[in-house]
Amino acid sequence: MPVVVDPDQVKVAELLKALPPGSHAMDTFERLETWLDQRDEEYAVVLGPNLSLDAALTLSDQMRTQRPTIGVVLIRQAVDTDVLTRAMHAGVREVVSDGDMAAIGAALDRAHEVWIALRGSAPAPTLGKVLTVFSPKGGVGKTTVSVNLALALAADASRKVCLVDMDLAFGDVAITLQLFPTHSIEHLIGSESTLDFGLVHSMLTPHESGLMVLAAPSLPDARDRVTGALVTRVIKALQEHFDYIVVDSAPTFDEQTLTALDGTDECVIVATLDVPTLKNVRVALDTLDMLSIALDHRHLLLNRADDQVGLGADKVESILGMEVAARMVTSMEIAAATNAGQPIVVSSPDHESSKVIRALATRLTGEVLDHDASSTAGSRRFRIRR
């Protein structure tokens, strides 16, 4: 897919209209780099007219050697010999005049042809799916949902599932699962460029269910040393090995959370039925829109969605402008199960909330999770049917 880079939102919107559906937009080169690190299907980068020529050419020059399969298409207000010569030297594939949508389309078609030819017939590696659970509010149930979702998926031993605690300062995934990790993402700090799956694997803590966990640092101050680049590399390495990577997140748009969200395949947004939370979720959705994050891949989960509070699902849908994908009521059993270290999908697979979680998992992954009530074998009491 093509990726557009331009700091001007209006220009981006205009360009996206002319580009194939599924094209993405980035406002900075940093975000472009992160994005390209995580994707294999991008074949062209369109550099918009509001980028400085020098910056655009420097990027093109780097891409020529680092990402030679991706064609750079440069859009300029004025195309003269000087621009063309410099662009050619920097490895720009095509220079197009701003507003000439037909020429941009043709340039992208050619970039696609080159990309297919260069890629050859090597099969694309199958990467695990990243499922991120996010909310701008704390205490709304992100960790509860992440942990149960991961356990529901891991219930079938044939699925390799990793749960990543990206609430780096106050993460409580490990304690929720009664794990005592000796290693965490903290031990990967500084290994951005050398990191591979073997290294990440040695930082994981196994749970008795078969689920693997990448724990948050034990002390909050380590958060600031976990860079966006590290988050990207870690998730990418995990994708090479696991079928599903469930990411629990912090209730902020910090660099690490944004990076994880940027690379996510599906995003579960958790909200509760109170006006301050809904307001914050609304603002967060606008931010996700602006950054083109998980468009068409967002799933709203209403937690503590009890009827008594006065705000119905229809009201929420109209406030947030998205349909409710799942509803979980307040239940002491959910909290008690978590406190006992046996989250609800494991301790009570027949509980209504366990069914909600499995239905959500099906929606996110396309897999049907079959609960086999007749079997009582420990934590493997339900199966996923492919």
The stretch among 1-9, 86-94, 139-147, 199-207 that binds Mg ion (CB under 5 A) is 139-147
Binding flag, residue 331, ligand ADP (CB under 6 A): yes
For tokens 């009521």, the residue is: 329
Residue 328 interacts, among Mg ion, ligand ADP, none and using kind-specific CB cut-offs from 5 to 8 Å, with ligand ADP
Binding flag, residue 184, Mg ion (CB under 5 A): no
Helix H segments across the chain? Answer: 9-18, 29-38, 53-66, 81-89, 101-119, 142-154, 173-176, 197-201, 228-241, 255-262, 275-290, 313-320, 332-339, 344-347, 352-365
Q: Which residues pair with 180 in a beta bridge?
A: none
Could you tell me how far CA 160 lies from the centroid of its own chain?
Answer: 18
Q: Please list, in sequence order, all residues whose beta carbon lies within 8 angstroms of the beta carbon of residue 320, skipping any fewer than 6 positions away.
A: 271, 278, 281, 282, 285, 300
- CA distance linking residue 238 with residue 233, whole number of Å: 9
Binding mask 47-76 for Mg ion (x = CB under 5 A): ------------------------------
Binding flag, residue 272, ligand ADP (CB under 6 A): no
Give me the least distance between CB of 257 and ligand ADP, in Å please: 13
Binding flag, residue 338, ligand ADP (CB under 6 A): yes
Looking at the Cβ atoms of 203 and 270, the one nearer to ligand ADP is 270
Binding flag, residue 347, ligand ADP (CB under 6 A): no
Give me the least distance between CB of 84 and ligand ADP, in Å please: 54
Q: Name residue 162's amino acid.
A: C
Size of the site for ligand ADP (CB under 6 A): 16
- CA distance linking residue 6 with residue 131, whole number of Å: 28
Q: Under a CB-based contact definition with an 8 Å cutoff, are residues 230 and 140 in contact?
A: no
Looking at the Cβ atoms of 60 and 146, the one nearer to Mg ion is 146
Binding flag, residue 38, ligand ADP (CB under 6 A): no
Q: Under a CB-based contact definition with an 8 Å cutoff, are residues 303 and 141 in contact?
A: yes
The stretch among 111-119, 210-218, 229-237, 327-335 that binds ligand ADP (CB under 6 A) is 327-335
369: which 2 tokens? 């999770």
Q: Name residue 331's amino acid.
A: S
Candidate residues 50, 330, 342, 362; the one interacting with ligand ADP per rule CB under 6 A: 330
- CA distance linking residue 265 with residue 323, whole number of Å: 18
CA angle (77, 80, 86) in 5-degree steps: 100
Give me the least distance between CB of 217 and ligand ADP, in Å please: 17
Residue 139 interacts, among ligand ADP, Mg ion, none and using kind-specific CB cut-offs from 5 to 8 Å, with ligand ADP
Give me the least distance between CB of 337 and ligand ADP, in Å please: 8
Candidate residues 23, 38, 60, 144; the one interacting with ligand ADP per rule CB under 6 A: 144
Looking at the Cβ atoms of 159 and 207, the one nearer to Mg ion is 207
Give me the least distance between CB of 172 and Mg ion, in Å please: 6
Q: Under a CB-based contact definition with an 8 Å cutoff, are residues 186 and 218 in contact?
A: yes
Nearest to 55 by CA among 22, 80, 30: 30
Candidate residues 20, 68, 99, 138; the one interacting with ligand ADP per rule CB under 6 A: 138
Give the dihedral of Cα atoms 79, 81, 84, 90; nearest 10 deg: -130
Candidate residues 142, 233, 299, 327; the one interacting with ligand ADP per rule CB under 6 A: 142
Binding mask 84-123 for ligand ADP (x = CB under 6 A): ----------------------------------------
Looking at the Cβ atoms of 60 and 338, the one nearer to ligand ADP is 338
Size of the site for Mg ion (CB under 5 A): 2
Give me the least distance between CB of 334 and Mg ion, in Å please: 14
Q: Using CB atoms within 10 Å of the CB of residue 274, give its burial: 0 to 12 exposed, 13 to 18 middle, 19+ buried.
A: middle
Candidate residues 23, 143, 249, 257; the one interacting with Mg ion per rule CB under 5 A: 143
Binding flag, residue 141, ligand ADP (CB under 6 A): yes
Indicate the SS3 state at residue 145. helix
Binding flag, residue 335, ligand ADP (CB under 6 A): yes
Residue numbers at the binding site for ligand ADP (CB under 6 A): 135, 138-144, 303-304, 328, 330-331, 334-335, 338
